[in-house]
Amino acid sequence: MSDAIVRGFVPQAKARPPRTPETHYLNVEYGVKSWLLTTDHKRIAILYLIAVTALFLLGGAAATMIRLNLMTPRGELLPADTYNKLFSAHGIIMVWFFLVPVVPTVLGNFILPMMVGARDLAFPKLNLISWYIFTIGGIITLWAILAGGVDTGWTFYTPFSTKAARTNVIPTIIGIFISGFSSILTGLNFIATLHRMRAPGMTWTRMPLFLWSSYATSVILLLATPVLAMALILVGVERAWGIGIFDPDLGGDPILFQHLFWFYSHPVVYVMVLPAMGIVSEIITCFSRKPIFGYIFVAWASVGIAVLGFLVWAHHMFVAGQSVYSAQVFSALSYLVAVPSAIKVFNWTATLYKGSISFETPMLFALGFIALFTMGGLTGLMLAALGVDMHVHDTYFIIAHFHFIMVGGTVMAYMAGLHYWWPKMTGRMYSDFLSKLSALIIFVGFILTFLPQFVLGYLGMPRRYHVYPPEFQILNVMSSAGASILAVGYLLPLIYLIWSLFAGKAAGPNPWGATGLEWQTPSPPPPHNFDETPVVTSGPYEYATEEITDVH
């Protein structure tokens, strides 16, 4: 499959036909117990993969019901209450049980220790505990959603969540609270690993960019998640006790809850998108056969995004009643986030320039990410502007904007990363044709689903309503049609990836001819990753540079 990708670069795998090693992390032990008690970061990554995929399907099912309901202006399919519970379930599952954990816990867990040249994460047992915490939190939340549901939206705004809502608020909060500790422990584990477990010679500026973005992500997880935990405790106490912190009857301030909530929930957007950017940096360089353009800028842009991300939360509250002056400050700071984000996009583009580009499946997804993330980012600038935000606040414009970032950005990059490292994780190649087809279907389906929502929002269709004026029907039907295409695009990989486990060709250690320590081990890797601790003597993207200079 990689015949045409390189000029002047001979992957080691070409020397003899690739084959799967006899012992690797998947077959070293068998049985349910060997999986449930494993401390191998690679096996834990697989456990997470199963958990988040199941949760993604559930969150997706809720989205399907929402889009079906919105086919008609009067929303005949669902009663209003059920609709409220479905969009709440969709948001809660997708944010906390898919988007936040997916890249760090699945791809990060698997790849990060190998990228730094370590045998495991710094705290392997803690890593397993994180998975159990995540799973327990997930089960409690799912139970709360299935046994009656919750109708507050994923934001739990007070006083609705503390006084008015008659649904399972407390069990849902408990589930999210618990799963938060899995985020914290994962972040802690990654930071410790990146600080203390790097192989000899792996200096900070020799780290692959995925590690820089994982580091920035971990800092956010570590410092933002506890604030959400506290905010949820306060909501839970107020609801259970019937008396509390945000209660206006006592002089409490509901806006204070919004401050605490968004202090977590804005930075957490970067938990979703930073690791995605890291994946894209890896893939763009690999399939352009060029070192990344401006390594140090891309690396520090991750840190910049993480730091700025902590200073912009109140842009979610422009119409909530905060002071005009603070709104102006938060508006200006929000603009600043565009700078490191744009640095990344420009540098990826510059990396592509005069590269020797091949359009393998991961590359298709990564290019899709750049396109969709750019659109999501630019509409984010429109929303950071106070005046525009007043106009489109709480409309489908917002919905479209953050789905461009979260689905067009994070999910697209996750798919890219999954396809990129799948041969490493499983030792198998998947169907070239079907995977490229699914990249195409997802891109087209995505655009059709969410582009009309920008228009809907701009025309004034509010979010979270289960009915709408008839003149909005055409755009809504377009969006629902796109969603069905998108669903096909997401189900297809489920089929061919599972199929590849049984019928895929052996991948060999390095099917893409990529640099990076993770490609120097057999696929699938042995239990301890490296027989000898590797020694690093060069930067992360030493792709045949002398060949490229020939072009000039």
Partner 1 sequence: MSTNRGLVAHHFEDIEQQRDVEAFGMWMFLATEILIFGAVFTAYTVYRLRYAADFEAASSKLNVLIGSINTIVLLTSSLTMVLAVHATRAGRPKMLMICLLLTIFFGLTFFGFKAVEYYEDYEEALVPGLRFDPGEWAERSPPANAGHVQLMLVFYYIMTGLHAVHMIVGIGLLTWLVYRARRGTLTPARYMAVEVVGLYWHFVDIVWIFLLPLLYLAGTHRASDLHF
Q: Which residues bind Cu ion (CB under 5 A)?
A: 266
Question: CB under 5 to 8 A by kind: which of Cu ion, partner 1, none does 249 bind?
Answer: partner 1
Question: Is there a contact between 146 and 548 (Cβ–Cβ < 8 Å)?
Answer: no
Part of the chain binding partner 1 (CB under 8 A), chosen from 14-22, 190-198, 476-484, 504-512: 190-198
Could you tell me where the beta strands, DSSP code E, fall in 215-336? Answer: none
338 sits near partner 1 (criterion: CB under 8 A) = no
SS3 label, residue 238: helix
Residue 497 backbone class (left: φ over 0; alpha: ψ -120 to 50; beta: rest): alpha
Question: CB under 5 to 8 A by kind: which of Cu ion, partner 1, none does 266 bind?
Answer: Cu ion
Whichever of 158 and 438 has its CB closer to partner 1, that residue is 158
d(CA 535, CA 148): 56
d(CA 67, CA 101): 25
d(CA 382, CA 334): 10
Cis peptide bond N-terminal to 171, omega within 30: no
22 sits near partner 1 (criterion: CB under 8 A) = no
CB atoms within 10 A of CB 354: 12
Site string for partner 1, 213-242 (x = CB under 8 A): ---------xxxxxx-xxx-xx--x---xx
Q: How far is the CB of 136 from partner 1 (least distance, A)?
A: 18
Chain Cα centroid distance, residue 340 = 18
Q: How far is the CB of 264 from Cu ion (least distance, A)?
A: 11
> Which residues partner with 462 through β-bridges?
395
Residues in contact with partner 1, counted by CB under 8 A, come to a total of 44
Question: CB under 5 to 8 A by kind: which of Cu ion, partner 1, none does 31 bind?
Answer: none
The C-alpha angle 96, 98, 100, rounded to 5 degrees, equals: 55
What are the structure tokens assigned to 524, written together? Answer: 């699938």
d(CA 215, CA 385): 30
Identify the CA nearest to 547 among candidates 3, 7, 2, 5. 7
Q: How far is the CB of 40 from Cu ion (least distance, A)?
A: 36
Q: Which of 14, 19, 119, 463 binds partner 1 (CB under 8 A)?
A: 119
* Rounded-to-5 percentages of helix, strand, coil across the chain: 70, 0, 30
Whichever of 17 and 251 has its CB closer to partner 1, that residue is 251
487 sits near partner 1 (criterion: CB under 8 A) = no
Restricted to residues 531-550, the positions that interact with partner 1 (CB under 8 A) are 533
Whichever of 243 and 491 has its CB closer to partner 1, that residue is 243
197 sits near partner 1 (criterion: CB under 8 A) = yes
Identify the CA nearest to 188 among candidates 276, 129, 107. 129
Whichever of 189 and 523 has its CB closer to partner 1, that residue is 189
129 sits near partner 1 (criterion: CB under 8 A) = no
d(CA 199, CA 37): 27
Q: How far is the CB of 520 from partner 1 (least distance, A)?
A: 18
d(CA 383, CA 331): 9
* Residue length of the chain: 552
Q: Which of 21, 73, 124, 460 binds partner 1 (CB under 8 A)?
A: 124
d(CA 423, CA 176): 33
Question: Is there a contact between 238 and 244 (Cβ–Cβ < 8 Å)?
Answer: yes
Part of the chain binding partner 1 (CB under 8 A), chosen from 2-10, 114-122, 147-155, 414-422: 114-122
Chain Cα centroid distance, residue 425 = 19
Q: How far is the CB of 529 from partner 1 (least distance, A)?
A: 9
Q: What type of residue is 506?
A: A
Q: How far is the CB of 263 from partner 1 (least distance, A)?
A: 8
d(CA 484, CA 136): 31
100 sits near partner 1 (criterion: CB under 8 A) = no
17 sits near partner 1 (criterion: CB under 8 A) = no
Residue 380: C-alpha distances to residues 266, 342, 358, 374, 375 (Å): 13, 12, 31, 10, 8
Question: CB under 5 to 8 A by kind: which of partner 1, Cu ion, none does 428 bind?
Answer: none
Part of the chain binding partner 1 (CB under 8 A), chosen from 85-93, 182-190, 202-210, 508-516: 182-190
Question: CB under 5 to 8 A by kind: which of partner 1, Cu ion, none does 251 bind?
Answer: partner 1
What are the structure tokens assigned to 368, written together? Answer: 């899709």
Q: Which of 22, 249, 531, 532 binds partner 1 (CB under 8 A)?
A: 249
Q: How far is the CB of 330 from partner 1 (least distance, A)?
A: 17
Question: Is there a contact between 295 and 205 (Cβ–Cβ < 8 Å)?
Answer: yes
Q: How far is the CB of 247 from partner 1 (least distance, A)?
A: 8
Q: Which of 54, 71, 139, 192 binds partner 1 (CB under 8 A)?
A: 192
Q: How far is the CB of 304 from Cu ion (least distance, A)?
A: 16
245 sits near partner 1 (criterion: CB under 8 A) = yes
Q: Which of 65, 191, 364, 406 binds partner 1 (CB under 8 A)?
A: 191
Question: CB under 5 to 8 A by kind: which of partner 1, Cu ion, none does 13 bind?
Answer: none
Contact positions vs partner 1 (CB under 8 A):
118-124, 126, 184, 188-189, 191-192, 195-197, 222-227, 229-231, 233-234, 237, 241-245, 247, 249-253, 256, 260, 263, 528, 533
